[in-house]
């Protein structure tokens, strides 16, 4: 039996505003093993969570490094989601 793992998730900028929270600790089921799977799981939570849905321009970092959806999660990881940064 695979044990669930806990990760810390941070939300920044317009995502924080859309979701109404800036951070949470979440115990993930055994099926959520990658950054992409986590994002899909979060998007499935409901209407405001669609801000993280497929096709949305959202960047992600794993333990303070930019990461791809295929990045594998481990217990105690810190995940951050944020919109792309624009300069001007």
Q: Where are the domains of the chain?
A: 7-82
Q: How many CA atoms lie within 13 A of 64 on its CB side?
A: 0
Supply φ then ψ for residue 47, to 5 degrees: -55, -60
Q: What is the C-alpha separation between 55 and 88, in angstroms, rounded?
A: 25
Phi-psi group of 31: left, alpha or beta (phi > 0 → left; psi -120 to 50 → alpha; rest → beta): alpha
Residue 85, pLDDT > 80, answer no
Q: Structure pTM?
A: 0.91
Class of domain 7-82: alpha beta
What's the pLDDT tens digit per position in 54-79?
889 999 999 999 999 999 999 999 99
Q: How far is CA 7 from CA 34, 71, 73, in A?
A: 12, 14, 8
């Amino acid at each position: 039996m695979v044990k669930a793992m806990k990760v810390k998730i941070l939300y920044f900028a317009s995502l924080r505003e859309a979701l109404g929270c800036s951070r949470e600790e979440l115990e993930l089921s055994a099926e959520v093993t990658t950054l992409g799977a986590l994002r899909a799981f979060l998007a499935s939570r409901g209407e405001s969570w669609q801000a993280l849905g497929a096709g949305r321009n959202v960047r992600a970092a794993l333990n303070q490094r930019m990461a791809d959806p295929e990045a594998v999660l481990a217990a105690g990881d810190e995940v951050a989601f944020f919109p792309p940064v624009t300069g001007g």
